[in-house]
């Protein structure tokens, strides 16, 4: 068996006719051939190098590919790759993955020319995180930046614990006081078509014209009602402007829940002939789909048509759980 050479053997080219390999060098090419065969079959005992940098491949795309590659050290890709780590990439180079339709490449991770770590691709369906997401240093780094490059929505399944200030919406500055805007469940409507209220009959006010309705609590098809969209505490407020009533008439306005239970009520006996204006407020605990109405009554002996406009109104505001 030929011995494995300890170094590269150099041969001198001879082209003259009749020249032969002398016995002293006969085993040299044989040893080189055996060394290559042994390396391919059993493993090389030295570095495997290419004569020209960045010119030749291992395998070919789609065919004649090696199967697996096992490395004990690291994989370095590109010019001036990272100096540490198992996979070392040069700046502004990225790891990509192929999409399911085999029609596009998605950026997975890399460091761009601005030294920003890019994670994920805008074309990808999502980035799934299957464990706790932690920062290496407490209370030091942010998610997004003020005014630009902000995330859009935040959906939390359990708790949010905040050690500083929570700002929601577009901030504004007034004098030395900071204010912030946030979406609130609130609705108010008023009466624009005069409603007749029969004597001695408790009647829900029709509030046919909406002033604002941020969370679908009022609808034109059920314009006597304000319906809670989520469970919680609600401030309920209403007012009624009566026509001229004589001094013996009793008139009232009240908050009624789910068509049955009456809560706060304002009830007057006129005492003098007048066109009274009455208001009522209360805080109610409502479940989702519970509704309130503002009911009025009078005992003048005949129907009375309410004055229209902003003085005959109702509404409610979600206060919290």
Minimal CA–CA distance to 277: which of 300, 256, 296, 262? Answer: 296
User: Lowest-pLDDT range, 46-60, 182-196, 283-297?
Assistant: 46-60
What is the residue range of 309's domain? 186-320
Total number of domains constituting the chain: 1
Say if 218 falls within a structural domain: yes
Positions of E strands within the chain:
75-77, 87-89, 94-98, 105-111, 117-119, 172-174, 177-179, 186-191, 196-197, 203-204, 209-213, 226-227, 232-241, 250-257, 261-269, 277-286, 291-298, 304-305, 309-320
Q: What angle do CA 140, 145, 131 make, to 5 degrees?
A: 60
Percent of the chain with pLDDT over 90: 45
pLDDT of residue 171: 53
Query: How many C-beta atoms surround the C-beta of residue 95 within 10 A?
Result: 13
User: If you average pLDDT over residues 172-178, what whole number do you get?
Assistant: 53
User: If you average pLDDT over residues 157-178, what whole number do you get?
Assistant: 65
pLDDT of residue 2: 47
Say if 260 falls within a structural domain: yes
Strand pairing of 94-98 and 87-89? unpaired
User: Lowest-pLDDT range, 2-16, 59-73, 240-254?
Assistant: 2-16
pLDDT band at 38 (very low <50, low <70, confident <90, very high): confident
Tally the residues of the chain: 321
Q: Is 311 exposed, middle or buried (0-12, 13-18, 19+ CB in 10 A)?
A: middle
pLDDT of residue 1: 45
Reduced to 3 states (helix: H, G, I; strand: E, B; else coil), residue 31 is helix
Q: Quick one: DSSP state of residue 27? A: H
Percent of the chain with pLDDT over 70: 83
User: Lowest-pLDDT range, 98-107, 268-277, 299-308?
Assistant: 268-277
Cα separation, 293 vs 316, in Å, equals: 10
pLDDT band at 175 (very low <50, low <70, confident <90, very high): low
Question: For the segment 280-303, what is each residue's pLDDT rounded down to a tens digit?
Answer: 999 999 999 999 999 999 999 999
Cα separation, 299 vs 87, in Å, equals: 87
Cα separation, 238 vs 225, in Å, equals: 12
Say if 258 falls within a structural domain: yes
Q: Is the pTM of this model over 0.85?
A: no
Question: For the segment 79-136, what is each residue's pLDDT rounded down to a tens digit?
Answer: 899 999 999 999 999 899 999 999 999 988 989 998 988 888 888 888 888 888 888 8
Question: For the segment 67-94, what is each residue's pLDDT rounded down to a tens digit?
Answer: 888 888 998 888 899 999 999 999 999 8
Say if 230 falls within a structural domain: yes
Say if 151 falls within a structural domain: no
User: If you average pLDDT over residues 53-66, what whole number do you get?
Assistant: 85
pLDDT of 275 strictly over 60: yes
CATH code: domain of residue 280: 2.60.120.40
C-beta of residue 234 within 8 angstroms of C-beta of residue 281: no
User: Lowest-pLDDT range, 2-11, 74-83, 213-222?
Assistant: 2-11
pLDDT of 265 strictly over 90: yes
């Amino acid at each position: 068996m030929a011995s494995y050479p300890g170094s590269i053997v150099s041969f001198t080219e001879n082209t003259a006719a009749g020249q032969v390999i002398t016995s002293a060098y006969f085993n040299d090419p044989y040893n080189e051939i055996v060394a290559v065969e042994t390396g391919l079959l059993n493993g090389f005992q030295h570095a495997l190098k290419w004569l020209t940098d960045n010119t030749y491949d291992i395998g070919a795309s789609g065919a004649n590919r090696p199967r697996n590659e096992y490395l004990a050290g690291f994989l370095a890709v590109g010019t001036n790759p990272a100096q540490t780590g198992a996979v070392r990439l040069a700046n502004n180079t990225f790891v990509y993955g192929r999409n399911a339709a085999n029609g596009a490449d998605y950026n997975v991770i890399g460091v761009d020319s601005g030294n920003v770590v890019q994670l994920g691709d805008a074309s990808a369906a999502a980035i799934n995180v299957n464990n706790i997401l932690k920062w290496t240093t407490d209370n030091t780094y942010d998610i997004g930046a003020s005014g630009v490059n902000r995330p859009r929505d935040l959906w939390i399944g359990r708790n949010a614990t905040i050690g500083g200030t929570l700002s929601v919406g577009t901030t504004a500055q007034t004098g030395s006081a900071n204010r912030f805007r946030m979406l609130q469940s609130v609705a108010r409507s008023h009466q624009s078509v005069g409603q007749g209220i029969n004597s001695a009959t408790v009647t829900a006010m029709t509030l046919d014209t909406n002033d604002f309705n941020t969370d679908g609590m009022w609808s034109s098809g059920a314009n006597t009602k304000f319906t809670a969209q989520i469970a919680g505490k609600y401030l309920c407020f209403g007012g009624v402007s009566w026509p001229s009533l004589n001094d013996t008439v009793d008139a009232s306005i009240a908050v009624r829940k789910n068509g049955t239970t009456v809560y706060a009520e304002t009830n007057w006996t006129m005492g003098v002939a007048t066109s009274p204006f009455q208001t009522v407020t209360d805080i109610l605990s409502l479940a989702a789909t519970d509704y309130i109405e503002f009911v009025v009554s009078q005992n003048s002996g005949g129907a009375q048509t309410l004055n229209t406009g902003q003085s005959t109104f109702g509404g409610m505001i979600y206060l919290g759980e």
